[in-house]
Chains A and B, each alone.
Chain A
């Protein structure tokens, strides 16, 4: 049987599709997995004052913040991705996002002008990670982090781990259809088939024990000093990413896929010579960087018969 469960977290809807025999057990495992996602929201949401991330943003300039293993591991992934993406992915972009109006009315603190906000951006100069203490510190006041899509992926990764620990062999998890994790495959299939792109030219990927993330400059928009902008801001130029391309990335972990799909929309030139092997580079029926002519809203489709 197939059981679907969902929760709202991090400004989107997370859904699990579980395959198994015992409905009570399936629901319980699904709830435990969703609880992991809710935990990540309560820890890493920028829009909750009581989150760990808000705590970090408030105090990390004054003292190092000790982190648990999972959260520190996420920051190590971020650290690596910032370097490998040459700063195209960089969560210290938060002050810039705020000045561009992309954080809505998140607090009563005065808005910085764009140049001042941009001066606070830059992972290497702003963040100190201490692996011995498992702590994170900001080098100056005013720095803040926006974990955007990577928090979603992190939640899905922890949820998938929880499902695996409970012996679930086949499941599909997604957050707002832009981050997807596949466990195993539906019975009798090679993998979960995921349709990307519009009605006219959908491309399909088979996903099995892997994560897929799609980024596109659609979705959240705001009007600010640069006029109307979308949410994928290049931390290096302080401008929204150009072009209408979208990027889809497959990786072992959803957090990694999320970070890279963001980086590749912001800087498509990174694609050739990328250092990790799971990136799809045009093999099969689809590529990591969909043609600009395809509709910009990513969507995916569950297999009709499972």
Chain B
């Protein structure tokens, strides 16, 4: 194929998909907002502090208020955003002149803070999962729907991740045909214990290990991955089975550190999901299998593996390839055609920012440009509901039906 043939070929369907996904800002200078946005952060744990770091890359986004009931966490956040006002009560933060609020509290506190923030007329970014109880997630979704003039973004990051956006467009255009099987995992060696010498503080900080409050691995981690599957397939599971237990950390905990769940989708497709806090092999990824190929997604990177009988697509001529034992993956790169024309294709391997950056950028652009947020309240509710049903299946040791009613916003 000559270069001009290639260019002609790229005018075809898949090439067009790649072109519409051009995201020039991915490789240009810093993002500048068209209007300034003053942000308040409620919850200054590790995730909250990571958010402050990403916000500092966006010109016009000002962290104006920080709130946490824990003085040490508040101090830690102040090191990231020294000019922000600090609060130990979120009501006071909501009374200040922030335009938007990021809710990064423990999951079980989301409802209270989100509802108050929306009532105070603030745009809201709420971390995933939305809540630890279905009723709370529904209350959040309902409040977000009522607050028509405000942006609500659920913090499911796959939908704003440029690698995932690109891969999703290929998958939805039929590049691997119908997906009939999926596998996802989260392997990370960590005890999940947050240290504190003060028993009261220790209990507050270790909500993820509190059986009454925790959504478990399915909620705190899996929900992100389940949402990716929903988004790529356009389908939600009808049933879930789960097993697991405390297998890695015998320290008296009750919340499972190792979980396996099977989700059954309409039409028979299945997602197998494994999560453990006892091993880090291969980290976190999602695999989507279709009859014409496989997509492997790993947050900052993505690859497509084609079956031998799959049709050739124009963009592949520019692609980088990577070997995975016996299989060769085509690296999915946003802007591949443009980068290739500049001889910079290798610079496009791996995202230039963490997925969290793109999620926050999407939120800010929804506020300043009126764009739709990458993940709205209803999608957030659905992913949360699926995760909560998986956690229920784990605890009950039985198959659980995921009723359609779970997804309804009252």
Contact = CB atoms under 8 A, between A and B. Distances in A.
The answer to whether A binds B is: yes
Interface of A: 23-25, 27-29, 31-32, 35, 42-43, 48-50, 52, 54-55, 58-59, 62-63, 65-70, 105, 107-110, 134, 165-167
Given A31-B190, A31-B191, A109 B344 contact: yes
Contacts of B351: 49-50
B30 interface: yes
A191 to B, nearest CB: 25
Contact of B195 (A28, A62, A134): A28
A108 B79 contact: no
A59 B31 CA distance: 10
A65 B344 contact: no
Interface stretch (B53-61, B167-175, B287-295, B323-331): B53-61
A197 B80 CA distance: 40
A107 B191 CA distance: 36
Contacts of B344: 107-109
Contacts of A70: 79
B376 interface: no
B191 A27 contact: yes
B338 to A, nearest CB: 13
Contacts of B345: 108
A141 to B, nearest CB: 11
Nearest to A135: B56
B193 interface: yes
B268 interface: no
Contacts of A54: 352
A211 B77 CA distance: 26
B353 interface: yes
B59 A24 contact: no
A110 B300 CA distance: 24
B46 A65 contact: no
Contact of A24 (B27, B193, B339, B346): B193
A168 B61 CA distance: 37
A165 B72 contact: yes
B81 interface: yes
Given A28-B194, A49-B351, A50-B353, 13 more contacts: A23-B251, A27-B191, A28-B193, A28-B195, A42-B354, A55-B57, A55-B352, A55-B353, A59-B29, A63-B59, A65-B30, A109-B347, A165-B72
Most A Cβ at <10 Å: residue of B30, B300, B339:
B30
Interface of B: 27, 29-30, 46, 52-53, 56-57, 59, 72, 78-82, 190-191, 193-197, 251, 300, 339, 343-347, 349-354, 357
Contacts of B190: 31
Given A69-B82, A167-B197, A105 B346 contact: yes
Contacts of A65: 30, 57
A35 B189 CA distance: 12
Contacts of A167: 197
A70 B346 CA distance: 31
A68 B80 contact: yes
A50 B53 CA distance: 12
Given A50-B350, A109-B344, A134-B82, A25 B195 contact: yes
A251 B57 CA distance: 33
Nearest to B340: A108
A110 B343 CA distance: 9
B251 A24 contact: yes
13 contacts: A25-B195, A28-B195, A29-B195, A31-B190, A49-B351, A55-B352, A63-B30, A69-B79, A69-B80, A108-B346, A109-B344, A109-B347, A166-B195
Smallest CB-CB A-B distances: 4 pairs: A108-B346, A28-B195, A28-B193, A62-B29
Contacts of A58: 27, 29, 352
Given A108-B345, A108-B347, A49 B195 contact: no
A52 to B, nearest CB: 7
A63 B81 CA distance: 19
A157 to B, nearest CB: 13
B359 to A, nearest CB: 13
Contacts of B191: 24, 27-28, 31
A166 B197 contact: yes
Nearest to A73: B79
